[in-house]
Amino acid sequence: MAEMEILIQQCVNALSLGGTYALLALGLAVVFSVLGMINFAHGEILTIAGYTVFFAIVGNVPPILIVPLALLVAMATAALMERIAFRPLRGANGTTLLITSFAVSGILQMLFQNLISTRPRPVPISASLTGAFNVGPFHIGVIQSLSIFATFAMVGLLTLFLKRTMLGIAIRAAAVDFPTTRLMGLRANRVILAAFAISGLLAGVSGLLWIAQRGSVDPLMGFLPVLKAFIAAILGGIGNLTGAVIGGFFLGAIEIGLQAVLPESVQPFRDAIALSLVVLVLLYRPQGLFGAAHSVRP
Amino acid sequence: MTWIGRRAITRMLDLAALNRTRPAFAGALVLIVPVALVAVVAGNFLGSAEQRIAIIFLINLIAVVANGLYSGNSGIMSFGHLGFMGVGAYLSAILTMTPEKKAMTLPNLPEFLAQAHMGLNEACLVTIVVIGLFAFIVGTPISRLTGSAASIATLAFLVIVHSILNGATDFTRGSQTFFGVDRLVTLPSLLFWVALSILAARVFRDMPAGLEIRAAREDELAAQAMGVNIARRRLIAWVISAMMMGVAGAMIGHFLGAFSPKKFFFVDTFAILAMLIIGGIGSVTGAVVGTAVVTVVMELARRLEESPILPSLGLPQVFGLTQLALGLGILFVMYKRPGGMLGLAEVDDWFKHRFSVAAAKITSFAAEKRDGALVVANVAKNFSGLKALDNVSLELRPGEIVGLIGPNGSGKTTMLNAISGAVPPSSGSVTLDGVAVAGKPAFRIARLGLGRSFQNIRLFKEMTVLENIEVAVSASGRGGDIRAEAMAALEELSVAHLAERRAGALAYGEQRRVEIARALALKPRYLMLDEPAAGMNSAETRALMTLLREIRDKYGLGLLLVEHHLELVMSLCDRVVVLNKGQMIATGTPAEVQNDPIVIEAYIGRAHSAHSSPSAATERSLS
């Protein structure tokens, strides 16, 4: 029974960690599918969501408003990034956009360090979140359950949005063929702004989940989870939304799996091994698990 | 050594190839002179603080030039090169430390490392070899990825190395400072490695491998169609640049004397990339200029950070100002000059006209005479349910001109792609002189003797016309004097006078001719041209027809011609194949096809072909 419990526990952990990666990867994929750019500064959106929570708690904002506020700030950050940094480069190639977002990321990190603090700031997490509840004989963590729930809710909402709303359909159309989408009378800037806002929302949600588990925010906290999300997005087939979600869960499962099976002495290399495994998958499927083979018409 | 290939080695030793790279050698020297001057002045006339800046500048120079060798030539931004620098620093430091010291600080080292003790230059050589192997293993999967995915994979590599350096406490003391490294760096030895790096990077750019990888940066599809093995070429650049990074690591380690894995992570990656990006990713001159400019700016920012100027102006003391300056610098360059300060320009562009392009006379592009044909049998291609090609068969013999015609969307271009390997067929077989090629990568099919042009011209726009052709000669792998053969191909198409022009700047008709010359330079047995007369006026079209006939007669090529221009097809082709909706609906001599009711129906429509109504008759006369 104890083994069963550990197994269930690990599955819950894998789903919750993978879900966080999946949300981040999904946000990257939405932007990539429309604009062909990898937003290196995606992690800083997550960090900003974290700082919003920190300052909201310090400023005695009513608890009920903290989550919507953080999500709103995350969306606004992503939209502003697009408006200020990326729009002047409309039509530039993927490398130029990647480098630009790389610079934006560096500038934001430096600003966090100067304007806030280089050291982690504690975020008090309410006791109701840190606990666990029992399902039959099993202990399930509240935060883990919440993050699994949030992941599926967000993926469901996004699917609805993309399939049922005009703007969502426009985004999907732009992902297939942007020039034609524009010829159909849709405003490119609106579609791109919407894509960024969605990616900001997703980054905000994963940011909330991330700090709920860590209990602190720091200027560089976005780097590692978003790096994992990059990898998840590539693993799923870059720009493929379903692939990004599955890639995220896949990476989460690998990490938790390695954590469970690797001996203590090898644990420090867990990240290295997990990433190497992914790169090995790419050796056999350079297009990712769900990436379309090159179908460029010459 | 098989992975480089015997062919590549003979080519490296080829005097003609060296002759081609003479401007590059000269350009490298022009860059090395001021760098050497910095080293000499710093060594003899400057105080220790300035000397320190000069040394860090020189070490950064190796790293930036190395990163540029990969990122610039391949067009794939590498975030991972600092990983090699880290490995180089630790490995070389372990090699130069005395066994006694290692017994104290690193008691758990394996015996052969614990006992090793050598000088810095020997350690550099060992580091180069070890990192070369390491980079080869790591680079194999990475070189198969393209674009942003490849960039992210290099970032993953950086994180992998970082976590290994942190985790391998027996070798590296983990995240703690690794200290006690002797400060063995001297200006002369450092200058030697810097000069070697600049020379290697500059000459690589103009060597066959460098030409081919740059072509792939411009246009992957066209490069493959010219026989370029992109993954292999990227791997070579990756390994060479990693080796150079290893040297940079050895130098920084033996200059600082103490370091930790953090030194080879994100912050320094940011700085090195900023130097490269600001100067210009695509050129060695840019790398050198960028390193110099950014070193100066960083130093100023650092002094501003430490000086009392900001507080005296009522501003708060800021730290991380260098990172801010670098970030803004990158943004500025991206907005104003995405290629960096130098773009793709090299210093030798200013004087390379002094090196004359003397072409030996090459008279024939005829491939060896062989029996055989290009046979396409029952080829089908499905795009998620859509049957773009449905069991099409055709045959093309050397010396024959076959036209492939059909309405828009009938599958003509898909047919060329399926034959050339750009889009592998879903089923069916393609044999080239008896060799089954369906499903093989495009570059292998090209090397077997299949040249092609593209419907929407795909020249390597940022390269010169001559370089465009040289890529094909080089990638065909037949050796010989690359430049002479390329010039001969240009002369064949009467475009030799354009040799030094940038391909993207040519007029439309000229580009078409250059593209045909490029395909011809492969010495193909079969040549597929996708709408070569598109956009030409009737005089140009007639000139093209004469030319194609000449090429066919002179070299005995089999020509497969996709063309809408019916006059050209009817007067030039021996046979015509007609496609409609992915199916072959007719084949025969031009005259037969022209009068085939099914063909007329496909082009003009059913009602008009069988029973002509009065209105249909007028429409037909209009069309």
> Which CATH number belongs to the domain containing residue A151 in this structure?
1.10.3470
Instruction: Based on the fold, state whether residues B328 and B441 are members of the same structural domain.
Output: no
Residues B203, B110: one domain?
yes
Q: Which among B159, B270, B458 has the least Cβ separation from residue A298?
A: B458
Average pLDDT over residues B600-617: 55
Residues B142 and B199 in one domain: yes
Q: In chain A, positions 223-262, which contact chain B (CB-CB < 8 Å)?
A: 223-224, 227, 230-231, 233-234, 238
Predicted local distance difference test score (pLDDT) of residue B365: 60
B260, two tokens = 């930790």
Q: Are B321 and B307 in contact (CB under 8 A)?
A: no
SS (H, E, C) chain A: CHHHHHHHHHHHHHHHHHHHHHHHHHHHHHHHHHHCCCCCCHHHHHHHHHHHHHHHHHCCCCHHHHHHHHHHHHHHHHHHHHHHHHHHHCCCCHHHHHHHHHHHHHHHHHHHHHHCCCCCEECCCCHHHHCEEEECCEEEEHHHHHHHHHHHHHHHHHHHHHHHCHHHHHHHHHHHCHHHHHHCCCCHHHHHHHHHHHHHHHHHHHHHHHHHHHCEECCCCCHHHHHHHHHHHHHHCCCCHHHHHHHHHHHHHHHHHHHHHCCHHHHHHHHHHHHHHHHHHHHHCCCCCCCCCCCCCC
Cβ neighbours, 10 Å, residue B444: 15
pLDDT at B197 exceeding the cut of 90: yes
| Closest approach of A138 to chain B, Cα-based (Å) | 34
- Do residues B466 and B445 both lie within one domain? no
Sort residue B531 into left (φ over 0), alpha (ψ -120 to 50) or beta. Answer: left
pLDDT in the model for residue A143: 83
Q: Look up residue A126 and give its amino acid.
A: S
Please, what sign has the CA dihedral across residues B542, B544, B547, B553?
A: negative
Chain B residues in contact with A278 by the CB 8 A cut-off are 156
Is residue A181 one of the residues assigned to a domain?
yes
Residue A223 has pLDDT above 80, yes or no: yes
The reported pLDDT for the residue numbered A53 is 93
Lowest mean pLDDT among A145-154, B142-151, B413-422: B142-151
Of B77, B145, B334, the CB nearest to A282: B145
CB B67 within 8 A of CB B245: yes
For residues B209 and B86, membership in a common domain is answered with yes
Q: Touching check for A295 and chain B: CB below 8 Å?
A: yes
Catalogue the long-range contacts made by A79-86 (C-beta closer than 8 Å, 24 or more residues apart). A79/A193, A79/A196, A79/A197, A79/A200, A81/A39, A81/A41, A81/A45, A81/A196, A82/A192, A82/A193, A82/A196, A83/A193, A85/A41, A85/B331, A86/A35, A86/A37
Burial category of A257 from C-beta neighbours within 10 Å (exposed 0-12, middle 13-18, buried 19 and up): middle
Q: How many CB atoms lie within 10 A of CB B314?
A: 6
Range picked from A127-131, A160-164, B305-309 for highest mean pLDDT: A160-164
Of residues A82 and A126, more confidently modeled: A82
Say yes or no for a CB contact (<8 Å) between B146 and A286: yes
Assess whether B444 and B471 both reside in one domain: no
Which range has the top average pLDDT, B18-32, B227-241, B495-509? B227-241
Burial annotation B459-486 (CB, 10 A radius, 16+ → b, else e): bbebbbbbbbbbbbbbbbbebbbbbbbb
Residue A258 Cα, gap to closest chain B Cα (Å): 15
Total structural domains in chain B? 3
In this structure, the strands spanning A121-122 and B526-530 are unpaired
Q: How many CB pairs under 8 A join A and B?
A: 144
| pLDDT at position B11 over 60 | no
Closest-CA residue of B relative to A270 is B163
Could you tell me the maximum CA-CA distance found in chain B, to the nearest angstrom? Answer: 104
Asked if B482 and B604 sit in the same domain, the reply is no
Same domain, B291 and B208: yes
Partners of residue B318 in chain A, C-beta under 8 Å:
114
Inter-chain touch A269–B167, beta carbons under 8 Å: yes
Q: What is the mean pLDDT of residues A155-182?
A: 88
pLDDT of A289 reads 81
Model confidence band, residue A182 (pLDDT cutoffs 50, 70, 90): confident
Q: Is residue A215 part of a domain?
A: yes
Q: What percent of chain B has a predicted confidence (pLDDT) above 70? A: 90
The torsion region of residue A136 among left (phi > 0), alpha (psi -120 to 50) and beta comes to left
Phi, psi of B180 (to 5 degrees): 85, 15
Q: Do A88 and B335 touch (CB under 8 A)?
A: yes
Q: Which residue of A has its CA nearest to B274?
A: A103
Of the pLDDT bands very low, low, confident and very high (cuts 50, 70, 90), residue B472 is: very high
pLDDT digits (tens, 9 = 90+) for B255-291: 999 999 999 998 899 999 999 999 999 899 999 999 9
Per-residue pLDDT, B357: 54
A135 found inside a domain: no
Token code pair at residue B104: 């104290």
B142, B146, B330 member nearest A99 (Cβ): B330
Q: What is the mean pLDDT of chain B?
A: 87
Interface touch B140/A283, C-beta < 8 Å: yes
Q: A134: which strand partners?
A: A139
Question: Any bridge partners for residue B387, and if so which?
Answer: B382
Cβ distance A297 to B413 less than 8 Å, yes or no, reads yes
Q: Which of B221, B190, B146, B226 is nearest to B449 (CA)?
A: B226
Report helix, strand or coil for B268: helix
- A99, A105, A111, A114: CA torsion to nearest 10: -100
Min CA distance, B245 vs chain A (Å)? 21
Inter-chain touch B152–A230, beta carbons under 8 Å: yes
The residue type at B588: G
% of chain A surpassing 90 pLDDT: 40
- Do B430 and B518 fall into the same domain? no
Three-state DSSP class for residue B324: helix
Q: What was the pLDDT predicted at B602?
A: 79
- Chain position carrying tokens 């699917």: A159
| Furthest-apart CA atoms within chain A: distance in Å | 62
Q: Which residue of A has its CA nearest to B169?
A: A268
Domain C-terminal end among B507, B523, B539: B523
Q: What are the tokens at B305?
A: 């950070």
* Residue B136 touches chain A, beta carbons under 8 Å: no
What letter does residue B440 receive in the DSSP assignment? S
Q: What pLDDT, on a 0 to 100 scale, did the predictor assign at position A122? A: 87
For A243-276, the pLDDT digits (tens) are: 999 999 999 999 999 988 888 888 888 889 998 8
Contact A110 B146 (CB under 8 A): no
Least confident window among B50-54, B118-122, B590-594: B590-594
Please indicate, yes or no, whether residues B513 and B537 belong to a single structural domain of this protein: no
Given a cut of 70, is residue B1 above it in pLDDT? no
Instruction: Count Cβ atoms below 10 Å from residue A57 Cβ, excluding itself.
Output: 16
Cα A120 from Cα B533, distance rounded (Å): 66
Tokens at B284, concatenated: 């060695």
As a whole number of angstroms, the distance between CA A213 and CA A252 comes to 15
Report phi then psi at B389, rounded to 5: -135, 135
CB atoms inside a 10 Å sphere around CB B288? 28
In a domain, A128, yes or no: no
Helix orientation angle between A270-284 and B120-142, rounded to the nearest 10 degrees = 50
CB neighbours of residue B111 within 10 Å: 7
Pair (B177, B89) in one structural domain: yes
In the block, residue with structure tokens 């197994």: A7
Sign of CA dihedral B450, B456, B460, B464: positive
Per the structure, the complete domain to which residue A42 belongs is given by 2-116+141-284
What angle separates helix B508-520 from helix B482-492, to the nearest 10 degrees?
130
- What is the domain-level CATH number for residue B180? 1.10.3470
Nearest-5° Cα angle at B157, B66 to A38: 90
B514 in a domain, yes or no?
yes
Examine residue B381 and state whether it is found in any structural domain, yes or no: no
Q: Which one, of B592, B543, B548, lies nearest residue B570 by Cα?
A: B592
Judged against a pLDDT cut of 80, whether residue B18 lies above it is answered with no
Contact of B419 with B430, CB cutoff 8 Å: yes
Lowest mean pLDDT among A102-111, A125-134, B69-78, B436-445: A125-134
Q: How confident is the model at residue B5 (pLDDT cuts 50, 70, 90)?
A: low
Instruction: Output helix, strand, coil percentages for chain B, rounded to the nearest 5.
Output: 60, 10, 30
Residue B237 scores a pLDDT above 90: yes
Does some domain include residue A129? no
pLDDT for the residue numbered B612: 42
| Residue B140 CB neighbour total at 10 angstroms | 15
Partner residue opposite A298 with nearest CB, options B161, B277, B417: B417
> Residue B344 carries which side chain, given as an amino acid letter?
L
pLDDT of residue A139: 75
Q: State how far the alpha carbon of B251 is from the alpha carbons of A22, A63, A65, A96, B453, in Å.
A: 41, 54, 54, 31, 48
Considering the domain boundaries, does residue B190 fall inside one?
yes
User: How much is the pLDDT for B370?
Assistant: 67
- Region B588-616 average pLDDT: 68
Task: Tell the residue number behind the tokens 């280089």, with chain if given.
Answer: A118
Which tens digit of pLDDT belongs to each residue from A50-101? 999 999 999 988 888 999 999 999 999 999 999 999 999 888 888 889 889 9
Q: Where would I find the beta strands (DSSP E) of B127-245?
A: none
- What residues of chain B lie within 8 A of the CB of A37, using their CB? 148
| pLDDT tens profile B475-488 | 988 777 888 889 88
Per the domain annotation, does A90 fall within a domain? Answer: yes
CATH number for B399: 3.40.50.300
Whether chain B has a CB inside 8 Å of the CB on A177: the answer is no
Model pLDDT, residue A1: 61
Identify the domain containing residue B137 by its residue range.
16-352
Question: How many Å apart are CA B323 and CA A105, to the nearest integer?
Answer: 11
Residue A4 has pLDDT above 50, yes or no: yes
With respect to residue A58, please indicate whether it lies within any of the assigned structural domains.
yes
Question: Is A283 in Cβ contact with B144 (below 8 Å)?
Answer: yes
Scan for tokens 């939304």, then name that residue.
A241
Residue B475 CA to residue B245 CA, distance in Å, equals 28
Q: For residue B141, list chain A residues with Cβ-Cβ distance below 8 A.
A: 279-280, 282-283, 286
| Interface contact A99, partner B, CB < 8 A | yes
Residues B302 and B283 both lie in one domain = yes
Distance of CA A168 to CAs A34, A82, A90, A291, Å?
12, 18, 21, 21
Mean pLDDT of B87-104: 94
Inside any domain, residue B1: no
**Which residues are registered as beta bridge partners of B436?**
B431
Note whether residue B366 is domain-resident: no
Q: Which of A103, A279, A283 is the closest to B327 by Cβ?
A: A103
Q: Measured between beta carbons, which residues in chain A are less than 8 angstroms from residue B224?
A: none
Domain C-terminal end among B486, B507, B523: B523
Q: Residue B395: which of B589, B558, B553 has the closest Cα?
A: B558
**Residue B438 covered by a domain:** yes
Q: B352, B372, B396: which is the final residue of a domain?
A: B352
State what percent of residues in chain B have pLDDT above 90. Answer: 52
- CB within 8 Å: A298 and B455: yes
Q: How many domains does chain A have?
A: 1
What distance in Å separates the CA atoms of residue A109 and residue A219, rounded to the nearest whole number?
A: 6
Least confidently predicted of A20-29, B173-182, B221-230, B296-305: B296-305
* A113 closest CB neighbour out of B156, B320, B328: B320
Question: What average pLDDT does this structure show over B124-144?
Answer: 94
Strand ranges inside B421-566, DSSP E:
427-432, 435-436, 450-452, 526-530, 558-562
Residue A77 inside a domain? The answer is: yes
Give residue B331's identity as a one-letter amino acid code. L
A contacts of B331 (beta carbons < 8 Å)? 85, 100, 103-104, 107
CA distance A283 to chain B (A): 5
A84 in B contact zone (CB under 8 Å):
no
Q: Which positions 12-71 of B are in contact with A (Cβ < 8 Å)? A: none
Task: Tell me, yes or no, if B534 comes closer than 8 A to chain A by beta carbon.
Answer: no
> Is pLDDT larger for residue B520 or for residue A1?
B520
Q: Is the CB of A107 less than 8 angstroms away from the CB of B156?
A: no
* Amino acid (one-letter) located at B460: F
CA B269 to chain centre: 23
What would the two tokens of residue B200 be? 């290697």
CB-based contact B330 A113, cutoff 8 Å: no
Q: Is the pLDDT of residue B242 over 70?
A: yes
pLDDT in tens, B539-579: 888 888 898 998 888 888 899 999 888 888 888 999 999 99
